[in-house]
Structure 1
Amino acid sequence: MKNKFLKKLAAASLAAAMIFSMAACGNADNNAAKGNASDSSSAAAENTSSSDKDLTKITFCLDWTPNTNHTGLYVAQQLGYYEQAGLDVQIVQPPEDGAALMCASGQAQFAIEAQDTMAASLDSDNPLGITAVAAVLQHNTSGILSRQGDGIDTPKGMTGKTYSTWESPIELATLKTVINGDGGDFDKVNLIPNDITDEPAALAAHQTDAIWVFYGWGGINANVEKTPCDFFFFKDVNPVFDYYTPVIIANNEFLQNSPDVAKKFLEATQKGYEYAIQNPVDAANMLIAGDNTGSLSGSEDLVQASQQYISEQYIADAQKWGFIDEDRWNTFYKWLADNGLTSKDLTGQGFSNDYLGGN
């Protein structure tokens, strides 16, 4: 996962810029998650009987290689929750042009995306036919990682320091807002290209002073590598940046034609994430076992540490897993429009809670 997710953000923002120019543009039924061993054994029994049934095939496209954002999917697959729901779910890697396009084209019924990168997909005369149907995490866990003691524990501390950037319009506008709003000067930040794969190591080697990371991976990795770092969350500086990242999106035509199947998929997925909340160690092991890319090999300690942290973020203070707060969604899209980052106001667009289970 690391910061490669943000490279996708940069690419999506650049694509949005091209579109603009061309067009003149907590309570989540945790009882179900407490099943532990009895859940697993009953799932195995269900798996045996389900082999005689016709299962509805579902393709789910990830946003990147498997990581702890995706754990609930692998749990639902390995504990048989999808088969119990009558589904045969295949989890695949994204194509070169991204998960959103694969989902919009109908090659995948569901995919992982993020509210910020979705903006480019929605902001055109012919928007992609996708809808966010569940929040994987309730709050934006991204922020700035820096060497401990360099004075970058708040945004204004980035003034006069070096920041590794992907030159994404949304990325840079976010930084400008938080730095200047904190009394710093964004124009005095030294911007250099970001080619970093190991953030704590890059900071320790003084390759850069500050990097945008998701705490559940990059921040946790600093602890695993025992690299003293400071960190601040964007959402804590300005609540407008408490947008949804990542989210599960669905193909609009699929939602229209097969709403009951969509609900069954999300109900089984919810059970997977609820299990991960109650059983982070077992869930992390399932993620590692289910990774067929080999990307997690050698990173078992990081996966376990990340899972301990992120399992508390799946629902956090929400009424249930997957719920998307309308006000928070709209506040961020209004900020994009107000800052000229979209050609139109996208508030009220791109999401639905209608396919989530109750309570």
Structure 2
Amino acid sequence: MKAPFVALWLALAAASTPLAAHSAEQVDFVLNWTPTADHAPIYYAKQQGWYEDAGIQLKIEAGRGSSTTAQRVGAGAAPLGISDFPTAMQAMGKGAALKAVMVIYANSPQGFYWLKSSGIRDAKDFPSRKIGNPPGDASRQMWPAFASAVGIAPDSVKFVNLSPQAKVAALKAGSVDIISDFYNEHDLKAQEFGEDLAFLPWRDIGINVYGNAILVNARYLQQHPETVKTFVGITQKAYAKCVEAFEPCLKALMDDVSGLSADTQRNQWARIQELMRDETSTTVALGAFDLERVQRDYELVNTLVGLDKPFDPLGVVTNDMLSPAYRMP
């Protein structure tokens, strides 16, 4: 009698395994661009099994720009994603149902690059020049704010559509005069152009708005609050771990994403940590929003860029998903 009982028990145990696997909820997570060092913590947490152990089957998708990601998440085509925060605000003004639950870049990563040999001395020389970047690029969405800050007409430049990978080559070939890019990509251009490279970070002209943030579809958040809180908690922990030691996170990224240079990604991560660090991330929590800054960012976007429909900026962010146990050093 014992043998049939054991066989039955083994059969039930085997049957329970696929059920447990199926109990995990698939969550699609859309990046702002193709995966690089700033996304390494997410790949690290996934490789470690942290999401899966918590009941989340995470699917990471490459993005096509902050604007596109904000629209997708806002429309419910994906529950979660990463977008430049002011760009997400513009999407909210168009009716996108979004809530920001964690900020990655506490400082603006936006910057313009050009060659000194082109004759451009500063932003006052941008008029009549060509700026190369993708159509969904956050700097293109925020261009009116930049133009206003430096005192040039918003329509005084011509934008040229480029993929992220084509920016450096286009600048080198002279097919564009200026390119926009995030500060974490700075070393690639510095190595390529040396002393001929000129760089203007937006934060140097007073536009230090929040950068990349994790967004959730508002309806999904309402229906799955525990899933979102679990996802954010794991992601916050992963970023903290990668700040402590980046090499395991770099390995996880490169194990999953081909064509990356380890040295380039290390350089990027060093600059990303500069972007992640501010008073709030060091004293409140890694990933936390300062609500006064959120209000200022909203006023800047509304005044200088324009919103189709106004909304309460403090109603579209929350720090409730974050743990104060994780802070930037």
Scaled by the length of structure 2, the TM-score of the pair is 0.77
Contact 2:73 2:81 in 1 (8 A): yes
Contact 2:132 2:167 in 1 (8 A): no
Contact 2:101 2:318 in 1 (8 A): yes
User: Which amino acid counterpart does residue 234 of structure 1 have in structure 2?
Assistant: W
User: Which amino acid counterpart does residue 253 of structure 2 have in structure 1?
Assistant: L
The equivalent residue for 2:235 is: 269
More helix, by proportion: 2
The Cα shift of 1:149 comes to 6.3
The equivalent residue for 1:14 is: none
The equivalent residue for 1:311 is: 273
Gaps of 5+ in 2: 1-16
Distance 1:343 1:188, change over 3 A: closer
Alpha-carbon separation, structure 2, partners of 1:281 and 1:148: 36
User: Which amino acid counterpart does residue 73 of structure 1 have in structure 2?
Assistant: I
The Cα shift of 1:52 comes to 5.9
Alignment pair present for 1:225 and 2:192: yes
Alpha-carbon separation, structure 2, partners of 1:302 and 1:330: 35
The equivalent residue for 1:24 is: none
Paired residue secondary structure (2:314):
coil
Q: 1:247-306 deviations in whole A, cap 9, x for unaligned?
A: 111122222233222211111111111122122233222112122xx4xx1544322321
The Cα shift of 1:312 comes to 3.9
Alpha-carbon separation, structure 2, partners of 1:213 and 1:169: 11
The equivalent residue for 1:109 is: 79
User: Which amino acid counterpart does residue 302 of structure 1 have in structure 2?
Assistant: T
Paired residue secondary structure (2:275):
coil
Alignment pair present for 1:118 and 2:88: yes
The Cα shift of 1:226 comes to 5.1
User: Which amino acid counterpart does residue 358 of structure 1 have in structure 2?
Assistant: P
Distance 1:278 1:312, change over 3 A: farther
Contact 1:63 1:93 in 2 (8 A): yes
Paired residue secondary structure (2:59):
strand
Distance 1:72 1:133, change over 3 A: same
Contact 1:144 1:233 in 2 (8 A): yes
Contact 2:144 2:305 in 1 (8 A): no
Query: Higher mean Cα deviation, 327-336 or 300-309?
Result: 300-309
User: Which amino acid counterpart does residue 85 of structure 1 have in structure 2?
Assistant: A
Contact 2:114 2:171 in 1 (8 A): yes
The Cα shift of 1:200 comes to 3.5
Contact 2:133 2:167 in 1 (8 A): no
Paired residue secondary structure (2:89):
helix
Q: Which of residues 176, 184, 207 is equivalent to 1:216? A: 184
The equivalent residue for 1:4 is: none
Alpha-carbon separation, structure 2, partners of 1:336 and 1:187: 14
The equivalent residue for 1:59 is: 28
Q: 1:176-207 deviations in whole A, cap 9, x for unaligned?
A: 22321xxxx44795535243644344333333
Structure showing greater radius of gyration is 2
The equivalent residue for 1:10 is: none
User: Which amino acid counterpart does residue 63 of structure 1 have in structure 2?
Assistant: N
Distance 1:160 1:122, change over 3 A: closer
* Paired-residue identity, %: 22
Scaled by the length of structure 1, the TM-score of the pair is 0.71
Alpha-carbon separation, structure 2, partners of 1:52 and 1:250: 26
Query: Higher mean Cα deviation, 91-100 or 52-61?
Result: 91-100
Distance 1:192 1:107, change over 3 A: closer
Q: 1:12-53 deviations in whole A, cap 9, x for unaligned?
A: xxxxxxxxxxxxxxxxxxxxxxxxxxxxxxxxxxxxx9x967
Contact 2:41 2:239 in 1 (8 A): yes
The equivalent residue for 2:111 is: 143
The equivalent residue for 2:14 is: none
- The root-mean-square deviation of aligned C-alpha atoms, in Å, is 3.2
Contact 1:155 1:178 in 2 (8 A): no
Alignment pair present for 1:91 and 2:60: yes
The Cα shift of 1:95 comes to 8.3
The Cα shift of 1:67 comes to 1.7
The equivalent residue for 2:295 is: 330
The Cα shift of 1:57 comes to 3.0
Contact 1:164 1:192 in 2 (8 A): yes
Aligned length: 297
The equivalent residue for 1:236 is: 204
Gaps of 5+ in 1: 1-48
The equivalent residue for 2:162 is: 195
Distance 1:286 1:162, change over 3 A: same
Q: 1:310-347 deviations in whole A, cap 9, x for unaligned?
A: 13433444232211121222212212222361134343
Contact 1:164 1:210 in 2 (8 A): yes
